[in-house]
Structure 1
């Protein structure tokens, strides 16, 4: 019977995990399966010893797919954990194909390994078909450290709880708070005698000056005042300046859809005007992920909204070719309602990843004891920093990366490939790992946003758990809504059709496409989350 259930799930999940993933906020910086640029804040792991220290030596099968490199139980962090727990791992995931293909093949086989690492919505979906072991009754005796974390982080506990009210997944939890912020060319401001903008109107005037007053000094009108490297949704980075969003948000305690709200009409009208005036990159829908490299590199990019760490790092890269280059984070310009806020925040479950125990596992309690090791102080340090004496040393009681690690172009990629540290298993990040290799300017921006608590909670939906029927219905309805919204919004933005006179018809079409049913499903899931 279980084989039939898993075959059914393979066909269901082949359509994607859109509904399960849509409950969170991404805002353009897609995290690969094995890494994240930045995370979200949570308390430190307990120092209580793992309950698994005296377990008999055993090998567990597990599934962890990576398109970047082959994950094996021989990675140094797993071998080190085996010394402490007696548990070694053997990965059964294939090395070829792609993520969805590998996952569907696993389900179709009807044979799940002891441990399954995957996206949380996907894991909760197969849990609904009795493919996974519920953890609730096992936590007290076998996972004291993980349980203590959940008790201190009620929102995360609610977010990982499946629609049936049970917990099946031990999640990968990001650490830190600030994610993205507003950046502007300070050298251009200085040359034009301008101050950093503090309101949407001031921001408009600064961008207009960037366009018209030749701040790069090459006697050409080639400056691109605002740009984004997200070719799909980057244009919507400006929408909060008019209190609007392209995504879902909370309003009066209910989930609403941004494009269906009246502020959206204003945001599209105004950004279309900015685009027509040349204040926004005319290639914003096609330039893509290299936009920062190209536009900062040729001294034509003026301002953007992007991730703190990677964006601030251009201050280290660009001065070789643009000597006076100075890029600085600024506070979010106040919107037309006078509110100063940021619509992104490090989501503790932003990677949407974790691992779970198969229902066929012979000793789930022992496996959970192994998983709990990663929530001890020792296990958390191993996951975040790798191997003591190789990738870090202890200085004044704190793990400090070696110079070899800090000199790498990508510290995260290096750690993953050499040790397995930062793999998206069920464990908790430590922001101290990132702090050591983050640009000082980025840290200043992070501190500014955190100290001022710019984060707009109504724009930051929690991860929601949907039933199989809800998930199936969302996959049937929402793609057509999303396609219609994107096509219409881009047409309005680029001036192909005026917003005025067409917005009411747009809203009517959303109802025809059954947006109300989508919102009903979201709000039902949100009510479960609150309970």
Structure 2
């Protein structure tokens, strides 16, 4: 196991060279000493996507410390409360050395970046071998107001698709759907035709959650032709997707699904973990999610009942009428947020380079392996064909899985798995890149967006929930959108359109 710290070693080497060239100049010597980093630990506020927090000083944390040469203090933040926690930390400036900022449209985050609360790291990336390899396309979409205020998380460009219970399809004699029209019929059958064969009407088609507007439904709306958050019109105007006919057509269709009872009726209050539990318990048979989740759903179901037959069809080529095949990126074209470094916590350039060296080291294959699979012989075994087999799923979920979402890059290496769903998901996610639709406004600047969009989007989400559940009609939804035009929407459109025009020359 490599124990040297690239970043810290480079910083120290630069300091020694500076000191040697000072030639006895006391002021230069003193300046050189001020650039020496004594930093031997790093604190990290990062998101937790699992139900349990890994043990402090556990086997993975210890192994990562050995690999990077730094003591690590993880500050785990449940993903469900990330915006609340991050906003509070930003307001109080009580931040760790590294802050995982994965809510890229959070206006508080973007304001903090624009106001210089974090280091602009772009000029330093070339000093570190792994950071230097971050694609320029990822860097481009990660800039805010021209600055790169954190190391961008690297992810597959488009991970989403539609997951459908294959065993339920088989039980009902149905084919795997590849169009919205056929998917609708499957949702109806899964709700009304007893797909699990238990004689009880206890299943639905779609099983959605409270983040429907921004996650599951948004992906479905993409099949109708809606854009990812924003759309460029034929007149080169950059408009929010929720103002477009395609988005509203998707809403009308999904409202029909809700009215017929083909989606769980309480979805607006269902949290992510509750959704996963419900799926594992066989409450629903269609999930719009990351293709990689199929394996997790299957294993959760088998952990609850080893005899469960749960199997999944993974679909990445869903289409609607004559709309060409497309898939909205769920990772902003491969950028999943930033590993941001606050100036208040990391005060000197020398310390900054230590932290960047730490992030660089986490992108080594050895660290990636630790955060993905765990320790060989303890959490997994590797056969002669390079296939990874998890030895104890419960132990892996407790000790390893929480670290997966914190990997600075998810594209370091693709492991073969003993679970065919994992291998299929990896293949389909790679295929998705050809049909990926990104957010055209991601790299554009709008002061009004930075200041007001979170509040605007929250109101639109509330109206979406009210419309789908029948509390208001489409005229009511459009009235909410119209009321927001004078509260920032029109200004955002004007500013983004002007910024877009500049990029077109």
Report the TM-score, using the length of structure 1 for normalisation: 0.68
Deviation at 1:317? Answer: 4.3
Which of 366, 371, 387 aligns to 2:356? It is 371
- Give the stretch that moved more between structures: 323-332 or 50-59: 50-59
Which of 293, 297, 304 aligns to 2:277? It is 293
Report the counterpart of residue 370 of structure 2 in structure 1.
385
> Unpaired runs of 5+ in structure 2?
14-36, 78-83
Q: Is the 8 A contact 2:141 2:443 kept in 1?
A: yes
Which of 480, 485, 492 aligns to 1:511? It is 485
Give, in whole Å, the separation in 2 of the partners of 1:94 and 1:502: 40
Q: Is the 8 A contact 2:142 2:337 kept in 1?
A: no
Report the counterpart of residue 426 of structure 2 in structure 1.
446
Deviation at 1:213? Answer: 3.0
Deviation at 1:291? Answer: 3.0
Q: What SS does the corresponding residue of 2:409 show, helix, strand or coil?
A: coil
Residue deviations 1:433-484, cap 9 Å, x none? 7x466842132133134336464324x45754758xx2xx436533453243
Q: What SS does the corresponding residue of 2:174 show, helix, strand or coil?
A: coil
Pair 1:335-2:320 in alignment:
yes
Residue deviations 1:326-373, cap 9 Å, x none? 322123421133423322444576552314373896762574266246
Which of 65, 68, 80 aligns to 1:78? It is 65
> Unpaired runs of 5+ in structure 1?
1-48, 83-87
Alignment of 1:37-52 (within 5 A): 50=6, 52=8
- Give the stretch that moved more between structures: 211-220 or 351-360: 351-360
Q: Is the 8 A contact 1:384 1:429 kept in 2?
A: no
Q: Is the 8 A contact 1:244 1:258 kept in 2?
A: yes
Deviation at 1:209? Answer: 2.9
Q: Is the 8 A contact 2:224 2:323 kept in 1?
A: no
Give, in whole Å, the separation in 2 of the partners of 1:137 and 1:231: 36
Give, in whole Å, the separation in 2 of the partners of 1:262 and 1:307: 26
Give, in whole Å, the separation in 1 of the partners of 2:161 and 2:358: 35
Report the counterpart of residue 154 of structure 1 in structure 2.
136
Q: Is the 8 A contact 1:243 1:337 kept in 2?
A: no
Residue deviations 1:178-209, cap 9 Å, x none? 52221112222223222112222222222233
Give, in whole Å, the separation in 2 of the partners of 1:492 and 1:503: 7
Give, in whole Å, the separation in 1 of the partners of 2:411 and 2:158: 14
Give, in whole Å, the separation in 2 of the partners of 1:347 and 1:438: 30
Which of 300, 303, 309 aligns to 2:292? It is 309
Residue deviations 1:82-130, cap 9 Å, x none? 3xxxxx45869899x95444444336xxxx99x5545387787556555
Report the counterpart of residue 239 of structure 2 in structure 1.
256
Q: Is the 8 A contact 1:406 1:437 kept in 2?
A: no
Report the TM-score, using the length of structure 2 for normalisation: 0.71
Q: Is the 8 A contact 1:177 1:345 kept in 2?
A: yes
Residue deviations 1:370-414, cap 9 Å, x none? 62465369845235426977868997999997x7x7524374752
Give, in whole Å, the separation in 2 of the partners of 1:505 and 1:104: 33
1:484/1:220 Cα in 2 relative to 1: closer, same or farther (>3 Å)? same
Report the counterpart of residue 196 of structure 2 in structure 1.
216
Report the counterpart of residue 53 of structure 1 in structure 2.
9
Alignment root-mean-square deviation, CA: 4.6
Q: Is the 8 A contact 2:467 2:473 kept in 1?
A: yes
Give, in whole Å, the separation in 2 of the partners of 1:147 and 1:174: 11
Alignment of 1:97-108 (within 5 A): 98-106=85-93
Q: Is the 8 A contact 1:244 1:264 kept in 2?
A: yes
Q: Is the 8 A contact 1:184 1:302 kept in 2?
A: yes
Q: Is the 8 A contact 2:190 2:203 kept in 1?
A: yes
Q: Is the 8 A contact 1:312 1:442 kept in 2?
A: yes
Report the counterpart of residue 35 of structure 1 in structure 2.
none
Deviation at 1:261? Answer: 0.7
Q: What SS does the corresponding residue of 1:354 show, helix, strand or coil?
A: strand
Report the counterpart of residue 247 of structure 1 in structure 2.
229
Give, in whole Å, the separation in 1 of the partners of 2:335 and 2:133: 17
